[in-house]
Amino acid sequence: MGRVVELDNRGLEPPEPMMRILDALETMGDGDTLVARNDRQPMFLYPELEERGYAHRTEPMDGGGYRITVWKAGKERP
């Protein structure tokens, strides 16, 4: 089981949340997982994740915002 990297993007304006997520992914190992909290669903991020070979999941959080979990496709689902 790899590391879990947490990222709080609440209060940031696009495209910063998306860029922070893409930046964080570059520093992560194959088994690591990224968990980001965003105010909005990062619609433009999803195609970028597909392109880079990541699987992902988006869940609405209590009290507003979304939790986006990203991991390398083919690895174990966190």
Partner 1 sequence: MNTLATKKAPPVTLPIRYIVTGIVSYFIAQLAMLLWPDKLLTGPVLRPETISLVHLLTLGWASMVVIGVLYQMIPVLLQVDLHREDVGRFLFWPALIGVSTLIVGFRIWNTTVIATGGTITTLSFFAYGWNMRGTLLNVKAWSRQGFAMLAGLVFFMLTVLWGFMMTLTLRFGFLGSSLGGLLGSHIAMGFIGWFTLMIFGVAYRLVPMFALSHGFTESRQLPAILLLGGGTFLFIARAFWPGIPGWTGATLVMVAFLLFALDVRTIFKHRRRRKLELVSRFSAASVVAGITVFALIWGRFLAGQGSWLDDERVLIAAGYMALLGWISLMIVGHLYKIIPFLAWLHRYGDKAGKEAVPLLRELFNRKVSEACFWLLVIGTGMVFIGILAGLGLLTRLSLLATLAGTLAFAYNVWEMVQPKEAKN
From CA 17, how far away is CA 23, in angstroms rounded? 10
Q: Is 1 in the site for partner 1 (CB under 8 A)?
A: no
Neighbour-count burial for 5-39, b at 16+ CB within 10 Å, e otherwise: bebebeeeeeeebbebbbebbeebeeebbbbbebe
Q: Is 25 in the site for partner 1 (CB under 8 A)?
A: no
Q: Site for partner 1 (CB under 8 A): which residue of 13, 27, 29, 63?
A: 13
Q: Is 5 in the site for partner 1 (CB under 8 A)?
A: no
Q: Which residue has the tokens 């190992």?
A: 29
Give the interface segment with partner 1, choosing from 1-9, 27-35, 50-58 (CB under 8 A): 50-58
Residue numbers of the site for partner 1 (CB under 8 A)?
A: 13-16, 18-19, 22, 40-41, 43-44, 46-47, 49-51, 53-60
